[in-house]
Amino acid sequence: MELLSEHACFGGVQRFYRHDAQAIGLPMRFSVFIPDTAPGAGNTHGKRPALFYLAGLTCTEETFAIKGGAQRVAAEEGLVLVMPDTSPRGANIAGETDAWDFGAGAGFYVDATEAPWSSHYRMYSYILELRALLEQELHLDAARTGIFGHSMGGHGALVLALRNPHLFRSVSAFAPIAAPSQCPWGKKAFGGYLGSDESSWQQYDASALMRSLQGQPAPFPGGILIDQGLADKFLEEQLYPEVFEAACRDAGQPLQLRRHAGYDHGYYFISTFVEEHLRFHAGQLRGS
């Protein structure tokens, strides 16, 4: 891991790194907030609880660090924040930067199976690789790691958590793309990255995954938290929180889906409710 820059922040440090990502086959950037750099500070047996944040379309490893306003509460709760980039960069695939909702900045946290994307666009595996890397390098506590995200990153967080509840103990989202197989963003991304066989899309669709869990114990008995603004211009066409809500109800998965009048899709909305997400995760991760 190459440290690119670091900045003192709320008694801890906000860092930016680059590393060679095996899943991607290219260098990737990510940022971390470490609440206290003293060895063993504020954590158990020298291991730090951590929270991954997956950002949305057009974002980078900087977006949440700059706009989310999360570091003060993360410092109070002793949580490491991990903020990966949202796609491979510099894959040099024709058309990669033609659209803001597909290609660069729009990796959708899936492992592409369709050429030419399949050579580098493997963001699902990349997040798991980064988690394992930082467990070693930053002494993250494997047993106390949570995940959250926004929009495309909310979709990624829900999918990564639902498929790996043994790796992520808590999950929440802001305005997630909750049923991507059914919306234009998801159809475009899944069609391009995974091909036209929609059965292969279901493994990356949080609502489909939740439906498949009916009859099994709820993977997150402490609940899933979702905040959604009602003035969000993408709500009706792209997000479908009600589909995920119904799937949770049918599967017996506790869900707090909070609908907020007047809030849109952007970082003013996220920064308003981010403290409650951090406290929610800290509470879940503190349990045994």
Residues in region 49-108 near ligand LAXINWYW by CB under 6 A: 56-59, 63, 67, 100
CB 10 within 8 A of CB 35: yes
Q: Using CA atoms, how far apart are residues 11 and 90, in angstroms rounded to an integer? A: 35
CB 52 within 8 A of CB 131: yes
The residue (of 157 and 224) whose beta carbon lies closer to ligand LAXINWYW is 157
The residue (of 55 and 75) whose beta carbon lies closer to ligand LAXINWYW is 55
The residue (of 194 and 239) whose beta carbon lies closer to ligand LAXINWYW is 239
Only one of the segments 18-26, 87-95, 206-214, 261-269 lies at the binding site for ligand LAXINWYW (rule: CB under 6 A); that segment is: 261-269
Only one of the segments 2-10, 129-137, 146-154, 216-224 lies at the binding site for ligand LAXINWYW (rule: CB under 6 A); that segment is: 146-154
The residue (of 29 and 265) whose beta carbon lies closer to ligand LAXINWYW is 265
Catalytic annotation on 151?
Answer: yes
Catalytic annotation on 265?
Answer: yes
Q: How far is the CB of 81 from ligand LAXINWYW (least distance, A)?
A: 16
Q: Using CA atoms, how far apart are residues 50 and 81, in angstroms rounded to an integer? A: 6
Q: Of these residues, 141, 205, 227, 232, which one is catalytic? A: 232
Q: Minimal CA–CA distance to 96: which of 196, 185, 192, 19? A: 192
Tokens 């670091």, residue located:
6
Q: Of these residues, 150, 155, 265, 277, which one is catalytic? A: 265
Q: How far is the CB of 243 from ligand LAXINWYW (least distance, A)?
A: 17
Quick one: CA torsion of 121, 127, 128, 129, rounded to 10 degrees? Answer: 70
Tokens 């989310």, residue located:
68
Q: Which residue is nearest to ligand LAXINWYW (CB)?
A: 56
Helices (H), the chain: 63-67, 71-77, 123-137, 152-163, 184-194, 206-212, 241-251, 267-286
The residue (of 57 and 208) whose beta carbon lies closer to ligand LAXINWYW is 57
CB 136 within 8 A of CB 142: no
Task: Count the site residues for ligand LAXINWYW by CB under 6 A.
Answer: 13
Q: Using CA atoms, how far apart are residues 53 and 147, in angstroms rounded to an integer? A: 6
Active site positions, annotated: 151, 232, 265
Interface contacts to ligand LAXINWYW, rule CB under 6 A: 56-59, 63, 67, 100, 150-152, 265-267
